[in-house]
Structure 1
Amino acid sequence: MRQLITPRVIALLVGLFFALAALWGFVSGVGAVIGQGFLKEPTAEHEFHEHPNDYDFSFNGPFGKWDQKQLQRGLKVYDEVCSACHSLKFVAFRDLAALGLTEGQIKAYSAKKVVPGIDPVTGEPTTRPGTPTDYFPSPYPNAVAAAAANNNAIPPDLSLITKARHDGTNYVASLLTGYQAQPAKLVEEFPGAKTPPGLHYNPYFANLNLAMAPPLTTEGQVTFDDGTKSTIPQMAQDVAAFLTWTAEPQLVKRRQTGWAVMVFLLFATVLAYLSKQTVWAAAKPKKKV
C-alpha cells in the first residue's frame, strides 16, 4: 500500500497553515482598523486639525529652482527671529555660499556669532567669534536650559525640520501663520479640549496646542535688504524656503541630475535597440518567394 502522507504532502500542509495564519492576521488587522474608524469617538484633533496650505515655491516641481533672494530673506528671518530659540546644528556658515553670499560676507556674518571654544592656555571651555568653518551655535547650553526657558518644551533643531514633517515646507509656512483664537465651536463640542494656559492654539499643529508663542507677530518685524515688504505670510514663506534648503541643499541639483540620467537612459535604450537590430539582421529567416 502506498504511503499517503509523503514529505511533499507535509510541506504542502505546513505551507497552507502559514498562509491561512497570515491571511487571518491581515483580515483581523484590517477589521480592527475599520472598526476603530467607525466606532472610535471623534476627537478635537481629528475634527479641527487642518492640512497645510499649498504654497507656490520656486523649487516646486521637477524643473523648480532655488530663489536665492528668497533664501537670503529666509536666513534673515531665522537669524533675527527663530535663532533665539531654535538651533541649526547641521549647517555650517560656509554653506551660505550656496545662497549667494560672498566669502567676505560669510566671514563677517560668522564673526558676529559666538560659538563654543577652548582656552588655549588653560584648556577650559570658553567662547569665541565664529569662523566660516563653524556650525550655527545653539541658543541654549543644554536641553535642560532649553526646556526651562520654554515651558518645559525643548525647541527642536530646525536643520531637518521640513524633512521631519509631512509636507514640511508647506507645514512650516502654515504653522507660522496659523496662530488664532480657539474656535468657540471646538470648546462647545469638546469642553475638555480647551487650550491650557501657557499654550497656543494652532490648527496646523498635530494636537492643536503648542508651547511656542507666535514668532511672527507684526508686519515689518524683519527688514529685508532687497526691499521686499515683510508681511507675516511673506516672512513665513521665506523662512520655510530657507529651512527647505537647510534640509535638502542638493534638492534642485538632484532633480537636474535625475533628468540628465533619464535622457541618457533613453538614448542608451534606443542605441541598444538599433544595435540589436543590426547584430541580428543576418540571422532573420529570409521570406520565401
Structure 2
Amino acid sequence: MKNKMIDISRKSGLLALVAAAAIGLPLLAAPAEAAGDAVKPIQSDWSFQGVFGVYDRDALRRGYKVYKEVCAACHSMELVRFRNLMEPGGPEFTEGQVKALAADIVVVDGPDDTGDMFERPGEPKDRFPSPYPNEQAAAAAMGAPAPDLSVIAKARPDGVNYIYSLLVGYTEAPEGVEVLPGLSYNTYFPNHLLAMPQPLSDGQVEYEDGTPNTVEQMAKDVTHFLMWTAEPKLEQRHRLGFQVMIYLVLLSGFLWFAMRKVWSDAH
C-alpha cells in the first residue's frame, strides 16, 4: 500500500506504531521494549466527573477550536455533525455560529436534476469533514490512516487522563534510548515510542477569551471536547441517575412504612 518505502519490514513497523498509537497497545518492536513500560497517566480533575459532573462550556468551545486548527489536519470525527455543537449539554454555540462554522467547508453533494455532482457550502446537518477523501489517501500521506476521534476518549480505561497525558508527555528520550527517524519519545505512551509527532506547542491556537494558550491548557481543552464527542448525553445521564436515586430512596421509605403498618395491624 505504501510503495514509496524501500524496506517492507520498516513499513510494517510503522503501521504497527500508528495502530498502537490509536488504541494505546504496547509496541512489540525490540527497540521499544528496551524503553520500558509507560508511566501511569496524570490524574487530573475534570468538571464532568462524579454524580453531579457537567461539561465546562468554555473549555468545550476552546477544545473545538484546538481540534479544528490542529487535530483535524490528520484526524476525522465522522460521528459528529455541526448541528451537534448547539445541542444542550455541549458547547452550545448559537445557530448563527454553527451556520458560519459549517459554511467554512465545501461539501460535494448530489446528484442534481441532471445527474451531476456539485459543490455547496457546508450546512449544520453535515458531518465534520475528514482530512482525506478515503483511507487509501490517508495511508499514502501518513503511512497509515490516523484514528477517528469521535469516541477516542472512551476507547480505553482512564481515557481522558491518558489523552491529556499523551498530549503533554512529549520529551527528549533518556540517555541510551534510541529513537528511530519518524518516531517521538513520549513519557506516557506504552513503551514510549510512537509515530505521531508532538501536535501542540505554546501559543499555537489563539484563544479569544484570553485563556493562556499553553500546551497544558490546550491539551486539557481538547481532551474535554473529545470527552463530550464520546459521551454527548453525559449531563442528561447524570441527571437521570440522580432522579432515579431519589425515587428509590422515597420508594424504600414508603415500603418500610407500609411494612410497619401491615405488621402492626397483624399483631
Q: TM-score, normalised by structure 1?
A: 0.76
CA distance in 2 between counterparts of 1:128 and 1:243 reads 28
- In the alignment, does 2:27 pair up with 1:44? no
- The 5-angstrom pairing of residues 1-289 of structure 1 reads 43-44=33-34, 47-97=36-86, 98-150=90-142, 152-185=143-176, 187=177, 194-217=178-201, 219-284=202-267
CA distance in 2 between counterparts of 1:205 and 1:128 reads 41
TM-superposed deviation, 1:116: 3.3
What amino acid is aligned across from residue 181 of structure 1 in structure 2?
E
Residues 63, 44 of structure 1: alpha-carbon distance in 2 compared, 3 angstrom cutoff: farther
CA distance in 1 between counterparts of 2:108 and 2:186 reads 35
TM-superposed deviation, 1:128: 2.5
CA RMSD of aligned residues (A): 1.7
For 1:116, what is the secondary structure of its paired residue?
Answer: strand
**Whose Rg is larger?**
1
Counting aligned pairs with the same residue, the percent is 49
What amino acid is aligned across from residue 174 of structure 1 in structure 2?
S
Residues 147, 130 of structure 1: alpha-carbon distance in 2 compared, 3 angstrom cutoff: same
For 2:182, what is the secondary structure of its paired residue?
Answer: coil
For 1:280, what is the secondary structure of its paired residue?
Answer: helix
TM-superposed deviation, 1:211: 1.6
TM-superposed deviation, 1:171: 1.0
TM-superposed deviation, 1:62: 2.1
TM-superposed deviation, 1:170: 0.9
What amino acid is aligned across from residue 44 of structure 1 in structure 2?
A
What amino acid is aligned across from residue 180 of structure 2 in structure 1?
P
What amino acid is aligned across from residue 244 of structure 1 in structure 2?
M
Residues 122, 166 of structure 1: alpha-carbon distance in 2 compared, 3 angstrom cutoff: farther
For 2:242, what is the secondary structure of its paired residue?
Answer: helix
Q: What do the CA deviations read for 1:100-144 (whole angstroms, capped 9, x no partner)?
A: 211111111111122332241443444432111111111101111
Q: What do the CA deviations read for 1:247-276 (whole angstroms, capped 9, x no partner)?
A: 001112211211110111010011011112
For 1:128, what is the secondary structure of its paired residue?
Answer: strand
> CA contact under 8 A between 1:117 and 1:125: conserved in structure 2?
yes
What amino acid is aligned across from residue 223 of structure 1 in structure 2?
E
CA distance in 2 between counterparts of 1:210 and 1:114 reads 33
Structure 1 unaligned segments of length 5 or more: list them.
1-41, 188-193, 285-289
What amino acid is aligned across from residue 229 of structure 1 in structure 2?
P
CA distance in 2 between counterparts of 1:124 and 1:57 reads 49
Q: TM-score, normalised by structure 2?
A: 0.82
> CA contact under 8 A between 1:59 and 1:65: conserved in structure 2?
yes
Give the structure with the larger helix fraction: 1
Q: Which structure has more RCO (C-alpha within 8 Å, separation ≥ 6)? A: 2
CA distance in 2 between counterparts of 1:58 and 1:260 reads 20
> CA contact under 8 A between 2:40 and 2:188: conserved in structure 1?
yes
CA distance in 1 between counterparts of 2:246 and 2:83 reads 33
For 2:39, what is the secondary structure of its paired residue?
Answer: coil
> CA contact under 8 A between 1:48 and 1:203: conserved in structure 2?
no
CA distance in 1 between counterparts of 2:116 and 2:169 reads 45
> CA contact under 8 A between 1:153 and 1:211: conserved in structure 2?
no
Q: What do the CA deviations read for 1:7-33 (whole angstroms, capped 9, x no partner)?
A: xxxxxxxxxxxxxxxxxxxxxxxxxxx
What amino acid is aligned across from residue 265 of structure 1 in structure 2?
L
Match of 1:287 in 2: none
CA distance in 2 between counterparts of 1:154 and 1:223 reads 28
